[in-house]
Structure 1
């Protein structure tokens, strides 16, 4: 079993095609086929069968696909580390889910890089659904924000670090703001709901709460929750806002918390790394740091968001050094 064979198999398993894997690797399809034949012979398993113009993995193939992705990712990281060893500084690749990135990441890393002044922190916003896969592939060292699924946690170390609440809010001028009892579902679903670019992700507590409603609201995604809140202030609709982010406006009366069953929705942000010592030391330091009082105070500081600003379809920031 060689790294070249595993790399070819990992791509075939992910792309579902020998031809697509060959194009990705920049080699011929027979070369990919030869690598896979040697791997099948070595392991004594067919690994995959052709099906409907593509491939279907055998049980052994599915098992190998998980290992192959991780081994290839680790090999690529080792190659990069060796090539850059002379000028290396502690580098941290952070996956941030959207709400955490917007509302807390900036202040957190302002403080963290005073703790670890030599660290270089690279932050990318990704979907909550991709947390486990991207950590397993070693695309990132740590994930901050939404929790991975229960099924994926067997290979992860998951630590809660910030409890939050989501409240349904509207402008004082909105027609729902005058209601004093629990709002009937038809009235609740009638107006537009606003959210940030990720919407209301299924993997979050607010996503699970929404899935239990006997109906689906019209959710308008804007570029950020800050923009969504601006639309709410203008009376255009309602949104599930972070309670600590809108506390001042609720107190002043410019926004109104709507009386809705099941709210406020309580949730947690989590710091996730690979288990069994597979995470780097800087990731472990950050995982411990986010649970400290200093980190919590920074993340919930009043005065509005101090998060990441997006460029294009993803957020990619390397500002903290």
Structure 2
């Protein structure tokens, strides 16, 4: 099996047709078909057949589909490590949920990267539901954020920080000085960051508990932008208790007194088990629970609303 053959097969699996795979790989359909034919010959398996409903994979094809992305990810990781060995530097690729990436990751990673002169850290914002896939495919080395409901048995997960989310409104908002009922909360405009669009984490959990209609939700590019709107009395926002502490102390925001708030959550680290993981992964996981790391996460200045880009945000620390 060659990498080109595996990439062709993985693209067919992902996109559902040879034509779409060829377009994605910028090659001809004949090239993709040739790669698949050679895989079939080498493995002695049809891998898949075309049906009226799409592609039907054989048991062997399904097994190869699971391995192809993993093998390609391992190849990319190996090439990266060889390149790093030549340059004398290491790269740690971190995936993080949007709430963690915006408010806790900057201080944590800046401090962690400063401890090793040969280490670069790359942070990307990802949905927690994708953590397992990214780790199994070797697309990232470690994931930080809420633990997904389902985690592959090859992945170890360890909690490292408890946190609290509170409801806040501007000082002149009608709810700033009185208790609100659950039914009244459902009629408010909720100003939310990108974490509200997922299924995993404390923010989606709060929204489900409230049974909040979508028409009352406004999703912003960042959690900081949502909090800024709340300061101007535009609605109710959710914020990490340590991230809004200064705004509450200054009186720019008022804490909401209403169920089901405040709500408690836990951030965890996820990484592949076994000795193949980069040494920097175990270094980071050990570092996460140290007093210095906890202080760095809770005192992080975060990033501004204008700089945060959840869909494509990648930041390097060195």
TM-based fold match above 0.5:
yes
| 267-276 or 66-75, which deviates more | 267-276
Quote the Cα distance in structure 2 between the aligned partners of 1:159 and 1:199. 23
Q: Distance in 1 between matches of 2:222 and 2:39?
A: 47
In 1, Cα distance between equivalents of 2:84 and 2:188: 54
> Which string of whole-angstrom CA distances, capped at 9 and with x for unpartnered residues, describes residues 64-99 of structure 1?
212110001111222343345321301111112211
CA RMSD, 1 decimal = 2.4
2:191 equivalent in structure 1: 194
Superposed counterparts of 1:106-255, under 5 Å: 106-150=106-150, 152-180=151-179, 183-185=181-183, 187-217=184-214, 218-255=216-253
* Count of aligned pairs between the two proteins: 315
Is the 8 Å Cα contact of residues 191 and 235 (structure 2) preserved in structure 1? yes
The aligned counterpart of 1:287 is 285
Output the CA distance in 2 between the equivalents of 1:15 and 1:276: 31
Unaligned runs of 5+ in 2: none
**2: CA distance between counterparts of 1:26 and 1:214?**
45
Q: Following superposition, which runs of at least 4 residues in structure 1 exceed 6 angstroms of deviation? A: none
Write the distance in 2 (CA, Å) between the matches of 1:46 and 1:211.
Answer: 45
* CA distance, structure 1, for counterparts of residue 252 and residue 25 of structure 2: 57
Map of 1:306 onto structure 2 = 302
Residue 296 of structure 1 is aligned with which of 267, 272, 294?
A: 294
Kept in 1, the 8 Å contact 2:186–2:210? The answer is no
Alignment of 1:55-74 (within 5 A): 55-74=55-74
Return 170-179 or 9-18, whichever deviates more: 170-179
Q: Per-residue displacement from partner, 1:247-301 (whole Å, max 9, x unpaired)?
A: 2333454422223223211111121111223321112211211121110011112
Partner deviation per Cα, 1:28-59 (whole Å, 9 max, x = no partner): 32332233234334445433222347423344
Output the TM-score relative to the length of structure 1. 0.88
**1:89 counterpart residue number:** 89
- Asked if the contact 1:183/1:259 (under 8 Å) is kept, the reply is no
Unaligned regions of 5+ residues in structure 1, if any? none
Q: 1:97 to 1:205 in 2, by over 3 A?
A: same
Contact 1:89/1:118, CA 8 A, preserved across alignment: yes
CA contact (8 A) 2:221 2:310 kept: no
Counterparts of 1:106 and 1:118, CA distance in 2: 19
In the alignment, the residues of structure 2 paired with residue 142 and residue 54 of structure 1 have an alpha-carbon distance, to the nearest angstrom, of 35
Query: How far off its partner does 1:231 sit?
Result: 0.7
Alpha-carbon offset, residue 312 of structure 1: 8.3
Cα distance, 1:111–1:214 mapped onto 2, change above 3 Å: closer
* Aligned-pair CA distance for 1:306: 2.7
Contact 2:195–2:203, Cα closer than 8 Å, also in 1: no
> Is 2:182–2:210's contact at 8 Å kept on the other side of the alignment?
no
Q: Is the 8 A contact 2:125 2:310 kept in 1?
A: no
* Separation of aligned partners in 2, 1:45 and 1:213: 51
Cα distance change of structure 1 residues 66 and 142 upon mapping to structure 2, 3 Å threshold: same
The reply to whether residue 29 of structure 1 matches residue 52 of structure 2 is no
TM-score, structure 2 length as denominator? 0.89
CA-CA distance at 1:101 after TM superposition: 1.2
**2: distance between equivalents of 1:102 and 1:202?**
18
Moved more, 246-255 or 92-101: 246-255
Q: Per-residue deviation at 1:11?
A: 1.3
